[in-house]
Amino acid sequence: MSLKLYFHPLSSYCMKVLTALYEKDLPFEAIIVNFGDATENARFIEMWPIRKFPLLRDEARNRLIPESTPIIEYLEMYYPGKAQLLPTDPEMAYEARWFDRFFDLHVHTHMQKIVGDKLRPEDKKDPFGVEEATTKLRTAYAVLENRLKDSVWAAGDQYTLADCSASPALFYANLTVPLGSEHRNVSGYLDRLMNRPSFARAVEEAQPYFHMRPE
């Protein structure tokens, strides 16, 4: 099998890539990485010293692709599969990429700051940083509430890269800082994402690991 994905099912950025792979219906070898295992950790660092997943290996092309968005862009170029995740129209492709960056930078990042702080030792916690991240996350919700009011998917009527990014970002963000009744457009959008078979499959596969997520 040409494509190998090094990942963990609980990781939000890994879920983003899994959603794209499932949308495209591409065959790949799923390799769950346990950083707690010294051998697996060392083997992964040898491949990618930054020590972050997802990481895609394309053995047919002898390429190693880190980071979720470049992985999906790479798949678009060389393994289009059954779904096109970047529109052919340049303006719509721009919209998809804009939303992808928005979800990563303004939803994913702040959600992970809040969750990550729960894993810190008591004497290393950062309450100011968590408060700041919570405020920024709520600001992102407000921006999305306006931007999503007339759309089925983030960039219009076509399911795209943007929605692959939005799915885990909003799923985990809503568990961390609930959307609430004032964000009906975002909540409706999240419902559509949750009912998309590709992301529903990623969530189902992550369920055995949900106990590892800090409350």
36-90 tens-digit pLDDT: 999 999 999 999 999 999 999 999 999 999 999 999 999 999 999 999 999 999 9
Tokens of 166: 């939005």
Strand, coil or helix: 132:
helix
Residue 178 has pLDDT above 70, yes or no: yes
Instruction: Kindly report the CATH class assigned to 3-78.
Output: alpha beta
The pair of three-digit structure tokens given for residue 195, joined into one six-digit string: 């009912």
For 164-175, give the DSSP string: HHHHHHHHHHHH
List the chain domain ranges.
Answer: 3-78, 90-196
User: Where is 46: in which H helix or E strand?
Assistant: helix 38-47
Tokens of 27: 């065959």
* Cβ-based neighbours of 167, under 8 Å, separated by 6 or more: 15, 16, 19, 193, 194, 196, 199, 202
Percent of the chain with pLDDT over 70: 100
What's the whole-model pTM score? 0.95
Fold of 90-196: Glutathione S-transferase Yfyf (Class Pi); Chain A, domain 2 (1.20.1050)
